Amino acid sequence: MADLAGANLEHAVFLKLGSYGTGGSSEDLVTNTIPLKVTSITIATAKTIPSLEVPFSGALSGESVTAALDLGMASKSISLNGFILEDTITKKWAEDDAPTGAKTYTAIELAQMIHSSVDSTGLQTYQAINELVFLYDSKVDENGLQRGVDQASIDVDGTDKTQVIPFNYSSRGNRKERDNRGAVLSSTFPTNQFSTGMKGFVRSFNTTIDSETIDISFDLQFEVAQVFPSGNIATTIADAIS
């Protein structure tokens, strides 16, 4: 999964904690993130449209008609399968006396960390996982330009270029432009590997510990969603009254 043409990365899949971005960590994929060694990814998108077969619609035309009402609803989920090995994690906590720098965690410690995260809520920003990053190679940028080839693209030299970006459900173009024509509140299409991935929550995380191997196999179900409650508001209030 890490064989990406556009970047020299050891991992291509990351779980971001709610505290990602605090203390200037938004320009790396190291601080307050958990890298995963993933062997397969399944992305499922299911549109929810109420539909009704129209009575007598085929009486005259000989072809029945189904009426559907598109209310803009869909469920989005990602299934990951892979394995966990001893790895290095960098965490940045809020306390001044908290340890700093990268720490090496065993496979079971990493598994325990993710299990604990799934058991927490969005209010525990240093525990909860609220974003999944799955990087892939992209040859067409956020404006629909061929990277390195189209005259308006960056670093034009006539050579096909590749940029690593995270998978999400946004579309190319600014609001009400290009693919986003008709979308008043469209989200921003990724521009590089540090762009926002998929926000949501871990629905389930299952691990298998085998005495005959040093790695821990896992499967993880992530659901794309706007999670409430989340953030630091309740944490700030709790700190103030404690």
Write the DSSP symbol of residue 166. Answer: E
3-state helix, strand, coil in the chain (%, to 5): 10, 35, 55
Q: Do the beta carbons of residue 213 and residue 106 sit within 8 Å? A: no
Closest CA to 187 of 201, 204, 203, 199: 199
| Prediction pTM value | 0.88
> How confident is the model over 88-125, as pLDDT tens digits?
999 999 898 899 889 999 999 999 999 999 999 999 99
What pairs with residue 149 in β-bridges? none
**Predicted local confidence at residue 53, as pLDDT:** 94
**Predicted local confidence at residue 240, as pLDDT:** 47
Q: Do the beta carbons of residue 14 and residue 87 sit within 8 Å? A: no
> How confident is the model over 33-54, as pLDDT tens digits?
999 999 999 999 999 999 999 9
